[in-house]
Structure 1
Amino acid sequence: MHKMSIGAAFSETFAFLKANWTQMLIYIGGALVLLGILGYLMLGSTFAAMASPTADPSVAFGAVGSIFLFALLAAIILYAACMLVWRGGLHPGEAPNFGWALQAGPAFAFGMFVVMIAAYVVILVISFVLMLIFGAAFGLGGGLSPDALQSGAVGGGAIVLLVLFYIAILLFMLWVQARFSVAGPVMADRLTRNPVTGLSESWRLTGTSQWVIVGFYVLFTLMTVAYMFVVGLVLGGIMGAMMGGSGFGSIVALIISAIVIYLPLLLISFSIPVGIYRALSPKAASDVFA
């Protein structure tokens, strides 16, 4: 297994973005437009009925079914678009396989859903065990003394333990994300519909670089926060002036915000899994992103 570096992950990520940004805009933009139309057709009347002051309580139950169906369709469409982007970037010039993408995308989404559920179950079990341990410790110690409660030592110690526990949870979730970060690109590269293949191969490939990938995600998150802060300062006055005017100005301001802030982050987020995959698996053709 090849051990990647953070620099290689960034290099491959932006190489993929540079070579495939138009394709990504077409597929992701088309998926979002389609979802917008479907959302209006499927949920427009539902939300209007729920907003009515004379709405029957049964409307809310019907809305849950409509929203769930739309969320399912949204997952299928968005993950299919992801697969098309990843496959097209890894195998440039190949005709898009929409039938495969519509099957592989939801399969990948389901696989990741199972992984996340398992991770949350592990967290709940560990939390329960820790509660039992600390409960037993306090019980064996005869409970909390009034002096300890008045001094605030117990409260301060509990806060420190709570902070450490939340940091541990965050690191654990980043670790899980790192271990399965290239499952989607693996499925796209091998043109498979089996999420087990992607998940197992991702686990194998990331074995020697798991904490490097965690560091990459942490660094990328910090860079994202810094980017949004700087862009927010630059555009803050302009956006405020636009949104304080006519309704058309508000719409233009929202469009500018989406293009300048959220669109680049969205495209980079789609590029990161392939960037990590390429950094971990240099066996692919060196000019694949040329």
Structure 2
Amino acid sequence: MDIAIREGLAEARALARQHWQALLTYVGLGVVLPFLLLSSEPIFDLRTLVAIAADPWTYRVSGSITGPLYLLGIVSLIVSGALLAAWNALLADIREGYISEIMYGLVAGAAYLAVNMILYFGVGIILSLPILLLAAFQPVQSYGIALAILRYIVSALLGSWIYARFCLVGPVMAASGRLEPVSAFAESWRRTRTAWPRLLGLYLAIYVLSGLLTLALLAPHLFILFNSAPGSFAETAMSVGWLLFWAAYFLMLLLVPAGLYSASEDRTTVEVFA
């Protein structure tokens, strides 16, 4: 079994043209709603984060951390649910309507989110072990910058490889209406067995491009924060820019795996009846 990247991206464009109304709905649910929820919490304001980073010893944030963490959990569940609901809308043989898709997305999205958190938390611990071991023998300052750069490169490579192998989990779940993700992880691993080098290159390119776009938005936003009053028109315009960026990123997370799944599904069908 193989997956052609060009064919997968063509399938993604076809799905976008065919289901553009559903995509707009789920961008509203998975991007706009979380954006508004996070905007309601002062700790997530960029001005607050810059102030904490600039003076972490004297700057104090009032209130409990429980509220922000609780809000982050809700937002993560909403985003995962919107992704699963959208994949169900794009890939299911018969659509059952938005209410059914959203209910499915919330249930399946919770399981999908939980397994992904366990997976990436485990990878994070593994990547942190070398730093902890080295810190036990000599001061971190003596190798901090080089190790940080190395850790960033390894994280990008390992993270992209993991995503390349498991990029089809959500589409596999949603296409068949599964509520448990374990079998979908196994199927994604099987379907990407021969295509993972190309998928790794694709997701590395997406990773680098997303990082560059983030820096392209962050630099002018920081300039505006340091040179304008809170609530200015320029700051509002930057918030709109971030919203559009996250909408585009959400669509990428949604459409690219859906297209790759469709390409692998078509190829599987050809192999079965060849």
Q: CA deviation at 1:26?
A: 1.0
Contact 1:79–1:105, Cα closer than 8 Å, also in 2: yes
Contact 1:182–1:202, Cα closer than 8 Å, also in 2: yes
Match of 1:184 among 145, 170, 187: 170
Q: Mark the CA change 1:111 to 1:225 in structure 2 (over 3 Å): closer, same or farther.
A: closer
Q: Could you say which residue in structure 2 is the equivalent of 1:140?
A: none
Aligned residues: 242
Q: Within 5 A, what are the aligned runs for 1:136-155?
A: none
Contact 2:169–2:188, Cα closer than 8 Å, also in 1: yes
Q: Could you say which residue in structure 2 is the equivalent of 1:150?
A: none
Q: 1:72 aligned to 2:73?
A: yes
Contact 1:12–1:276, Cα closer than 8 Å, also in 2: yes
CA distance in 2, matches of 1:38, 1:265: 18
Larger deviation, residues 10-19 vs 105-114: 10-19
Residues 37-91 of structure 1 show CA distances to partners (whole Å, capped at 9, x for unaligned) of 65577x57xx9xxxxxxxxx9953xx21212222222122221111111000002
Q: Could you say which residue in structure 1 is the equivalent of 2:200?
A: 214
Q: Could you say which residue in structure 2 is the equivalent of 1:203?
A: 189
Contact 1:28–1:78, Cα closer than 8 Å, also in 2: no
Residues 123-172 of structure 1 show CA distances to partners (whole Å, capped at 9, x for unaligned) of 244x279859xx8xxxxxxxxxxxxxxxxxxx99x988885665344212
Q: 1:253 aligned to 2:247?
A: no
Larger deviation, residues 261-270 vs 204-213: 261-270
Q: Could you say which residue in structure 2 is the equivalent of 1:27?
A: 26
Q: Could you say which residue in structure 1 is the equivalent of 2:119?
A: 115
Contact 1:21–1:267, Cα closer than 8 Å, also in 2: no
CA distance in 2, matches of 1:162, 1:4: 34
The TM-score normalised by the length of structure 1 is 0.65
Report the secondary structure of 2:127's partner residue.
helix
CA distance in 1, matches of 2:79, 2:146: 41
Q: Could you say which residue in structure 2 is the equivalent of 1:94?
A: 96
CA distance in 1, matches of 2:113, 2:132: 30
CA distance in 1, matches of 2:241, 2:91: 31
Q: CA deviation at 1:100?
A: 2.1
Bigger Cα Rg:
1
Q: CA deviation at 1:103?
A: 0.7
The TM-score normalised by the length of structure 2 is 0.69
Percent of paired sites with the same residue? 22
Contact 1:278–1:284, Cα closer than 8 Å, also in 2: no
CA distance in 1, matches of 2:185, 2:3: 19
Query: Which amino acid is 2:119 matched to?
Result: V
CA distance in 2, matches of 1:28, 1:112: 21
CA distance in 2, matches of 1:5, 1:209: 8
Q: Mark the CA change 1:256 to 1:101 in structure 2 (over 3 Å): closer, same or farther.
A: closer
For structure 1, the residue ranges without an aligned partner over 5 or more in a row are: 48-56, 136-154
Q: Could you say which residue in structure 1 is the equivalent of 2:266?
A: 282
Q: Could you say which residue in structure 1 is the equivalent of 2:9?
A: 10
CA distance in 1, matches of 2:251, 2:35: 19
Contact 2:108–2:179, Cα closer than 8 Å, also in 1: yes
Q: Could you say which residue in structure 2 is the equivalent of 1:143?
A: none
Q: What RMSD in Å do the two structures reach over aligned CA positions? A: 4.3
Q: Mark the CA change 1:248 to 1:284 in structure 2 (over 3 Å): closer, same or farther.
A: farther
Report the secondary structure of 1:94's partner residue.
coil
Q: Could you say which residue in structure 1 is the equivalent of 2:55?
A: none
